[in-house]
């Protein structure tokens, strides 16, 4: 019940233990097409270029940055936690001049902050935000920020590592040009793949670069020859991971996206109500709290590490600690994907109650 990896369904684990085929085997090629189609459904996009990068969520972040940025480009990035901070580092390593739009950890990035930044940096290559900040539990609304980016002629980039399949994500409706996610949060597959999608506009930017993409491994021009119809060998795809993702996506769509979001919302509300009965609260911005990651304030005088250790030792429950400025101040209780169950909410509430009483 931490910030991911989440629990994985037995059928996902079974899928991953199936015998291997080659990465150009017709059976695998058919499965690649099914994965792409299911990812489009989950991202809610028609983008042709939608596939899983071989690597964790950070590889997806790097994929978007390295393909879109050329040295000297200006970009605007919202920073309200660990992952916006990381994106600035990645973008700077690609040679971008980064304008940071900062909000206190736990709060969202406001559209007017992006509008202000666009006055200072009127022609950025892209504007980027983290939809669901796993380090703080805040969900930044997307549509208005996307509109501001496009009005300035910029692309719009979105991190959906924690949001995808746990709360509404609508890539085409929100006009997101570049998006990445991860398998180990609300998709409930093991860590190791990063689903990505590029709009035709973003793909055109990547195709018409002045210089080659610095990273050979993450170059979309090469990757799309393997994941597209040409099937040109690029790297040996992690076969078993793709089996796992295929089954995880099948389960997501079998449940239905709306039903899955609703399950996440209901379990979050049950946790929130139970915490309130104990005098505990979720500290991220009211009205913008994530359903899948709950930032619980540590009460005055309580040793947060001792509580987490006891939860693990006595109850076999793992929750996460606060990071950066929130270190020692919050616990991060994940209710992601298969972990988001009423039974788990009741277990963690009961265990916390008993430990805090002691």
List interacting residues with ligand PLP (CB under 6 A): 3-4, 56-58, 61, 83, 130, 134, 159, 161-162, 182, 191
Identify which of residues 118 and 179 has a Cβ nearer to ligand PLP in the complex: 179
> Closest separation between CB of residue 19 and ligand PLP, Å?
27
Q: Helices marked H in the chain — which ranges?
A: 10-16, 26-43, 57-68, 82-93, 111-120, 143-151, 200-207, 220-227, 239-255, 257-277, 304-315, 342-357
> Closest separation between CB of residue 129 and ligand PLP, Å?
10
Taking the C-alpha atoms of residue 155 and residue 147, their distance in angstroms, rounded to an integer, is 10
Identify which of residues 80 and 224 has a Cβ nearer to ligand PLP in the complex: 80
Identify which of residues 152 and 326 has a Cβ nearer to ligand PLP in the complex: 326
Instruction: Report which DSSP code applies to 337.
Output: G
**CB contact set of 292 (below 8 Å; sequence gap of 6+):** 132, 162, 163, 166, 167, 185, 186, 264, 268, 334, 335, 336, 337, 340
Identify which of residues 39 and 351 has a Cβ nearer to ligand PLP in the complex: 39
Identify which of residues 185 and 351 has a Cβ nearer to ligand PLP in the complex: 185
Contact indicator for 4, 185 with CB cutoff of 8 Å: yes
Helix, strand or coil, per DSSP, at residue 44: coil
Identify which of residues 84 and 124 has a Cβ nearer to ligand PLP in the complex: 84
> Closest separation between CB of residue 162 and ligand PLP, Å?
5
Taking the C-alpha atoms of residue 313 and residue 18, their distance in angstroms, rounded to an integer, is 33
Identify which of residues 43 and 83 has a Cβ nearer to ligand PLP in the complex: 83
Residue 97: phi, psi to the nearest 5?
Answer: -95, 115
Contact indicator for 319, 333 with CB cutoff of 8 Å: yes
Taking the C-alpha atoms of residue 48 and residue 36, their distance in angstroms, rounded to an integer, is 8
Q: Cis ω on the peptide bond leading into residue 5 (within 30° of 0)?
A: yes
Instruction: Report which DSSP code applies to 216.
Output: S
> Closest separation between CB of residue 84 and ligand PLP, Å?
9
> Closest separation between CB of residue 273 and ligand PLP, Å?
25
> Closest separation between CB of residue 85 and ligand PLP, Å?
11
Identify which of residues 60 and 124 has a Cβ nearer to ligand PLP in the complex: 60
> Closest separation between CB of residue 294 and ligand PLP, Å?
14
> Closest separation between CB of residue 65 and ligand PLP, Å?
12
Identify which of residues 140 and 310 has a Cβ nearer to ligand PLP in the complex: 140
> Closest separation between CB of residue 61 and ligand PLP, Å?
6
User: Quick one: which of 70, 42, 83, 337 has its CA closest to 197?
Assistant: 42
Residue nearest to ligand PLP (CB): 57
Taking the C-alpha atoms of residue 86 and residue 107, their distance in angstroms, rounded to an integer, is 17
Helix or strand holding residue 1 (H, E): none
Instruction: Report which DSSP code applies to 55.
Output: S
Reduced DSSP (H G I as helix, E B as strand, rest coil) percent helix, strand, coil of the chain, to 5: 45, 15, 40
> Closest separation between CB of residue 211 and ligand PLP, Å?
26
Contact indicator for 322, 328 with CB cutoff of 8 Å: yes
Identify which of residues 56 and 341 has a Cβ nearer to ligand PLP in the complex: 56
């Amino acid at each position: 019940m931490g910030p991911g990896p989440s629990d994985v369904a037995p059928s996902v684990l079974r899928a991953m233990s199936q015998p291997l085929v080659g990465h150009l085997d017709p059976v695998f090629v058919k499965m690649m097409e099914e994965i792409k189609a299911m990812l489009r459904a989950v991202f809610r996009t028609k983008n042709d270029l939608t596939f899983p990068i071989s690597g964790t969520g950070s590889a997806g972040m790097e994929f978007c940055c390295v393909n879109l940025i050329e040295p000297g480009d200006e970009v605007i990035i919202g920073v309200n936690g660990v992952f916006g901070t990381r994106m600035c580092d990645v973008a700077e390593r690609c040679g971008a001049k980064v304008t940071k739009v900062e909000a206190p950890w736990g709060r969202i990035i406001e559209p007017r902050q992006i509008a202000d930044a666009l006055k200072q940096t009127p022609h950025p290559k892209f504007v980027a935000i983290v939809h669901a900040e796993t380090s703080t539990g805040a969900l930044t609304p997307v549509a208005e920020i996307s509109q501001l980016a496009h009005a300035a002629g910029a692309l719009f980039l979105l991190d959906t590592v924690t949001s995808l399949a746990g709360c509404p994500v609508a890539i085409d409706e929100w006009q997101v040009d570049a998006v990445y996610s991860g398998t180990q949060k609300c998709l409930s597959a093991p860590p190791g793949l990063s689903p990505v999608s590029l709009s035709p506009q973003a793909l055109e930017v990547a195709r018409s670069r002045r210089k080659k993409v610095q990273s050979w491994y993450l170059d979309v021009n090469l990757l799309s020859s393997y994941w597209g119809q040409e099937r040109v060998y690029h790297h040996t795809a992690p076969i078993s991971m793709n089996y796992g993702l295929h089954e995880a996506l099948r389960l997501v769509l079998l449940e239905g996206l709306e039903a899955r979001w609703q399950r996440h919302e209901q379990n979050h509300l049950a946790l929130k109500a139970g915490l309130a009965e104990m005098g505990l609260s979720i500290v991220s911005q009211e009205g913008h709290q994530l359903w899948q990651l709950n930032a619980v304030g540590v009460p005055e005088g309580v040793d947060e590490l001792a509580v987490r250790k006891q939860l693990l030792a006595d109850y076999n429950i793992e929750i996460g600690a606060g990071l950066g400025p929130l270190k020692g101040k919050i616990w991060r209780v994940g209710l992601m994907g298969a972990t988001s169950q009423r039974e788990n909410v009741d277990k963690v509430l009961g265990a916390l109650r008993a430990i805090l009483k002691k």
